[in-house]
C-alpha cells in the first residue's frame, strides 16, 4: 500500500545533492513534459528525448508512478509532499485539509450540472477544485494563484485526473496576469487523454478580468437646442 511516507522517502533520494525546493520544482517541470501540447511531432520527440536523458530518469519515473497511485480518488499527494518537505519550516505555507475542502465544496457547489464552472481565485495546489470534481468530474475547473509552484501542482492535479479547465499564474487582487495553462482532453483509443496548452496572452484566459469597454461620448459640433415643430400658444401663469 503506497502512502505519503514512501513518497517522501523516494523524493529525498531523488533530491540528493540539491536543495529540496529545487528538486521539487524539477519534479513538477519534468512531470509536465509528457502532457504538454507541442506545435509539431519533431518538437514533441525532442522533448521526450530530453526526458529520457534525465540523469535520474529511473528515480523520476518511480516518483511519478507513486504520485499517480496516490492521486487516485482526487487526492493531493503533491500538496502533502510540498508541505512536509518544502513549506514546513520555510515560508509556512499550508493548504486546507482535504476533508475541509470536501465539506466546503458540498456547501458551495451543491448539485452542479455537467459543464458548470467552478473557480478558486487562490487555488494553491488545487484541492478545492479536486473536491468539486468529487461531486461531478465533468465540471469546468478554473484556478488562479500568485505562486507559480502552486499553479504547477494544481495543473498536474487536473491532468492526473483527466479534468478540464484552466490554471492561471496571476495576482487575483491586482488582476496582473503572468501565464496560463488550459487543460483539455482528447479521445485516444477510447481513453480521455489529458493535455495542456500554455499561453501568455491574458485575453485568452477565462479567469483574467477583461476591462469593461465603455462607449465614449464625443461632441464634435456645438449643441443645437431642439425646437418644437408647432408653436406653443400658452399663457404664463402667475403665483399671485
Question: What pLDDT digit, counting tens, does each position of 59-81 carry?
Answer: 999 999 999 999 999 999 999 99
Is the overall model pTM greater than 0.95, yes or no?
no
Q: How confident is the model at residue 111 (pLDDT cuts 50, 70, 90)?
A: confident
More confident residue, 94 or 157: 157
Q: Rounded to an integer, what distance in angstroms lies between the CA atom of residue 7 and that of residue 24?
A: 12
CA 83 → CA 151, 152, 156, distances in Å?
15, 15, 16
Winning range, highest mean pLDDT, from 36-45, 91-100, 188-197:
36-45
Residue 89 has pLDDT above 90, yes or no: no
Statement: residue 1 has pLDDT above 50: no
Closest alpha carbon to 84 in 179, 7, 2, 171 = 7
For residue 210, name the pLDDT band (cuts at 50, 70, 90): confident
Return the H-helix or E-strand segment holding 86. Answer: none
Whole-number Å distance between alpha carbons of 195 and 205: 17
Q: Are 144 and 173 in contact (CB under 8 A)?
A: no
What mean pLDDT do residues 208-236 have? 66
Q: Which pLDDT belongs to residue 186?
A: 87
Low-confidence winner among 36-45, 84-93, 171-180 (lowest mean pLDDT)? 84-93
- Determine which helix (DSSP H) or strand (DSSP E) holds 141, and give its type and residue range: strand 140-145
Q: Are strands 176-188 and 191-199 parallel, antiparallel or unpaired?
A: antiparallel
User: From CA 23, how far away is CA 149, in angstroms rounded?
Assistant: 12
| 3-class DSSP assignment, residue 71 | coil
Amino acid at each position: 500500500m503506497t502512502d505519503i511516507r514512501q513518497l517522501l522517502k523516494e523524493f529525498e533520494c531523488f533530491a540528493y545533492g540539491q536543495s529540496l525546493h529545487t528538486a521539487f520544482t524539477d519534479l513538477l517541470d519534468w512531470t509536465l513534459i509528457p502532457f504538454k501540447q507541442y506545435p509539431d511531432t519533431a518538437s514533441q520527440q525532442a522533448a521526450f528525448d530530453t526526458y529520457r536523458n534525465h540523469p535520474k530518469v529511473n528515480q523520476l519515473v518511480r516518483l511519478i508512478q507513486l504520485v499517480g497511485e496516490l492521486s487516485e480518488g482526487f487526492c493531493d499527494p503533491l500538496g502533502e509532499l510540498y508541505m512536509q518537505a518544502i513549506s514546513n519550516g520555510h515560508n509556512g505555507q499550508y493548504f486546507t485539509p482535504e476533508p475541509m475542502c470536501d465539506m466546503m465544496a458540498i456547501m458551495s457547489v451543491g448539485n452542479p450540472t455537467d459543464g458548470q464552472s467552478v473557480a478558486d481565485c487562490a487555488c494553491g495546489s488545487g484541492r478545492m477544485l479536486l473536491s468539486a470534481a468529487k461531486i461531478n468530474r465533468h465540471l469546468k475547473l478554473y484556478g488562479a494563484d500568485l505562486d507559480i509552484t502552486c499553479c504547477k501542482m494544481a495543473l498536474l492535479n487536473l491532468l492526473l485526473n483527466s479534468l478540464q479547465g484552466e490554471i492561471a499564474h496571476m495576482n487575483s487582487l491586482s488582476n496582473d496576469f503572468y501565464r496560463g495553462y488550459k487543460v483539455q482532453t482528447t479521445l485516444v483509443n477510447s481513453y480521455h487523454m489529458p493535455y495542456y496548452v500554455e499561453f501568455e496572452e491574458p485575453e485568452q484566459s477565462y479567469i483574467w478580468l477583461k476591462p469593461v469597454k465603455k462607449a465614449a461620448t464625443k461632441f464634435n459640433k456645438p449643441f443645437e437646442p431642439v425646437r418644437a415643430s408647432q408653436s406653443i400658444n400658452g399663457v404664463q401663469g402667475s403665483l399671485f
